[in-house]
Amino acid sequence: MCCMGTGTGGEPESSGSLRTFGAVSQALREYHGLSREELGELVGYSKHTIASIELGRRMPDPDFIEPAEAALGNTGALRRAAEHLEREPGLASWFRRWARWEKLAINLCTYECRMIPGLLQTEAYVRALAADQLPPLSDPEIEEMWSARTERQRLLHERPNSAFNFILEEHLFLRRTGGVEVTRRLIDHILEIGELRNVELQVMPLVQESHAGLQGPIHLLETPENKWFAYLEGQESGQLITQPKVVSVLQARYARMRSQALTIRDSASLLQRMRGDL
């Protein structure tokens, strides 16, 4: 897992309404000659929270708006801006920029050691993951999550000239997330996806003495302009990497893993045996 970084494009994405609300809040604060720390003291929030709201990275809590309105002149501007606040549904804020590039990529490479990647998940698997989410998700949020997954998964079929490579750890299937039936259907789905001409699926065996990916998941993509970018995700955060030197290192690790994982044919055979054992 990787934490948020600086200078790598890792700032979380925000919706237009969040950025607009933040800009209004900042403009009013500066008009009244208040620092973020001073405004925070008036409304009961830290200066860091104020900064996150003004930069459009955080949805303001309901109990922020009225105290902030009072502290900033009771113009009504914050109340009106708050009426239009919305999150972009289904995708984590820090993932949206990568998701937009994903739609244009001519090559996508994904190594996962924590869970089956979103492009390969089934509905039952998504719902099993959602059941363990903390804080708990509402039914509409779970529906948004699945809707976002299905929209992304269309790429596999609608971009036949884009190449997709996946390296998945064997233990992701041995864990049996959601139970035996969920895992059985998941393997069936992944085997079916693996038959697409533009998709390559490899499994990293459970016993592997040499493994170049022990530092965590890796996502790589190549744009139509033949530029490569990387994405690393951790707990409640994501890091978009644009520096060529860092991307090159991750490409080298991924290439080594492709040689260490089972071949495409042997990976399919292993998945079929694992399904038969369920």
Note the pLDDT of residue 49.
85
Q: Give the sign of the dihedral formed by CA 158, CA 160, CA 161, CA 165.
A: positive
Note the pLDDT of residue 274.
96
d(CA 164, CA 156): 8
* Per-residue confidence in pLDDT tens, the chain, 278 aa: 333 333 333 333 445 777 888 899 999 999 999 999 999 999 998 888 898 888 887 777 767 888 999 999 999 988 888 877 655 555 565 577 788 788 889 999 999 999 999 999 999 999 999 999 888 988 888 898 888 889 889 999 999 999 999 999 999 999 999 999 999 999 999 999 999 999 999 999 999 999 999 999 999 999 998 999 999 988 877 888 989 999 999 999 999 999 999 999 999 999 999 999 99
CA distances 168 to 21, 111, 217, 254, Å, are 41, 6, 10, 12
Residue 205's closest CA among 267, 269, 118, 277? 267
Beta strand 163-169 pairing with 218-222: unpaired
DSSP H helical ranges for 60-122: 62-71, 77-82, 96-102
CA distances 39 to 63, 64, 212, 220, Å, are 14, 11, 48, 41
pTM assigned to the model: 0.68
Note the pLDDT of residue 12.
39
Compute how many other C-beta atoms are within 10 angstroms of the C-beta atom of residue 220: 22
Note the pLDDT of residue 2.
37
Question: Are 235 and 1 in contact, with CB atoms under 8 Å apart?
Answer: yes
Note the pLDDT of residue 5.
33
**Chain-wide mean pLDDT for the chain?**
87
d(CA 62, CA 129): 28
Q: Return the DSSP state at 28.
A: H
Note the pLDDT of residue 7.
33
Note the pLDDT of residue 4.
31
Note the pLDDT of residue 254.
98
Report which residue type is found at 214. L
Note the pLDDT of residue 147.
87
d(CA 202, CA 237): 27
